[in-house]
Amino acid sequence: MFETSQSLFWASFGLVDLVSFELAGIKSFTRFWALLMFGSYSVINIIVLLNMLIAMMSNSYQIISVSAKLQRKTKFSLYLSYISGAIRRRVEVCSQQIVDQLL
């Protein structure tokens, strides 16, 4: 049982192929089902691992997207406050010049 679990574990990484199985001395029917079950395990394992990879990448993208939105809002608010302050100062300077011209 341990050897079977070990073979399936290493098969997940592609380190076990069908040629390395020593299935001599068993009937062809049993050999067929053993290879079919191993092939099914390999295909299902690849699908599950790809699904996990896609889920992790989606989660990472979502976290980065939220962070980028927050940074954009922060930069925009800082830029807006800078512009409003600059406009306010410009209006004060212009109004002071108009008052000086009138006096």
Residue type (1 letter), 52: M
Closest CA to 35 of 18, 10, 20, 22: 18
pLDDT per position as a tens digit, 85-94: 777 777 777 7
Break the chain into its structural domains and give their ranges.
2-102
| Cα 22 from chain centroid (whole Å) | 40
Q: How far apart are CA 22 and CA 12, in angstroms?
A: 19
pTM equals: 0.54
Tens digit of each residue's pLDDT (9 = 90 or more) over 6-51: 777 777 777 776 666 666 677 777 778 877 888 888 889 889 989 9
Residue 17 and residue 92: Cα distance in Å, rounded? 80
